[in-house]
Amino acid sequence: MGVPGFHTVLFTSGADVPPLFVPDIVDGTPVPSPQGPPRLLLNPAIAFPDGRTEYDGTGTATSGLDVLRTEDQPPYTLKFTTEGSFDYQCAIHNLVMKATITVQAAGSALPTDAAGYDAIAQDEMTKLIAEGQAASEAAMSAMPMATPASSGASTWDVAAGVGGMSQARVMRFIPRELTIKAGDTVRWTDMTVGEPHTVTFLGGTEPPEDTLIEPQASGMPKLIQSFDTLLPAGGDTFDGTGYHNSGFLGLPPDVAAVLGTNPESYELTFPTAGEYPYYCVLHAGGPDDEQGMIGKIVVQ
């Protein structure tokens, strides 16, 4: 389980991964959001377990989101009833987070034992950590970059996460703290393939909820994607007051198609001296979450 973050275990038997978000349709009509666009739901086919306890290589089997499992629930388990090689993935991070289960005939000799697989997993983890460290160091050597303007102000670049087409992901703003001059602009760019981020300044407001839970009379609740976090808010200048948000940078293609936009970068100008903490709504619990994806702009 990622902390912070969320994952699933999804077997599709070769079919496409279901879309992450789906429109909220009631009686054949899309439900509007307060912001205007049709309300979006976290796809129940991804969010909730399908209840299957066995898998024979056909159909879909899914764990649902790990963050929805309570502490008293056992880990997700699946019994394999048929020999074969079965690919699976995380529905949220399916571009890079993939794996395979090979099922042999009952009674046949396995390639290794549990301790051997633990060693393999540790070796893979070590390699991924090294990849992440190398990507972070490369970004640190390139960031921040300053582009002077004719006005005398500068635009500074910050990486919002780092990671290519591998499972190594650096959930950090690089650099984490940036000192600039009043009137300068900061440009954040999502540099994590397949991983959305936000740049969120609270400016004295309460942290927004990213997912709103709406109970239903029967069945699972609706998990509503908040447009307060999904869409940009607050304008292009920040003086330390009011909620300012980039919206999701690096949207999944299906979401980008619904909204008609897929921004990769976000710019904000800082006219007033001060210290301004911020965070990624998707990968931190707030601007003070030291274990999460947080940053600070210091304006002199």
Q: Which of left, alpha, beta for 68 (phi over 0: left; psi -120 to 50: alpha)?
A: alpha
Residue type, 12: T
For residues 240 and 203, the answer to whether their CB atoms sit within 8 Å is yes
For residues 161 and 184, the answer to whether their CB atoms sit within 8 Å is no
Q: What is the 8-class DSSP label of residue 105?
A: P
- For the segment 170-186, what is each residue's pLDDT rounded down to a tens digit? 899 999 999 999 999 99
Identify the weakest region by mean pLDDT among 103-117, 155-169, 196-210.
155-169
pTM over the 0.75 mark: yes
Q: Which of left, alpha, beta for 45 (phi over 0: left; psi -120 to 50: alpha)?
A: alpha
For residue 269, the surrounding DSSP H or E stretch is strand 265-269
* Domains annotated on the chain, with CATH: 10-111 (no CATH), 144-208+227-299 (2.60.40.420)
Q: Strand, helix or coil at 191? A: strand
Q: What is the CB neighbour count within 10 angstroms for residue 221?
A: 14
Counts of helices then strands in the chain (DSSP H, E):
4, 22
More confident residue, 78 or 19: 78
For residues 270 and 203, the answer to whether their CB atoms sit within 8 Å is no
Q: Strand, helix or coil at 194? A: coil
- For the segment 11-46, what is each residue's pLDDT rounded down to a tens digit? 999 999 998 888 899 899 988 887 777 899 999 999
For residues 64 and 49, the answer to whether their CB atoms sit within 8 Å is yes
d(CA 226, CA 209): 7
- Predicted local distance difference test score (pLDDT) of residue 43: 92
More confident residue, 269 or 260: 269
- Predicted local distance difference test score (pLDDT) of residue 219: 86
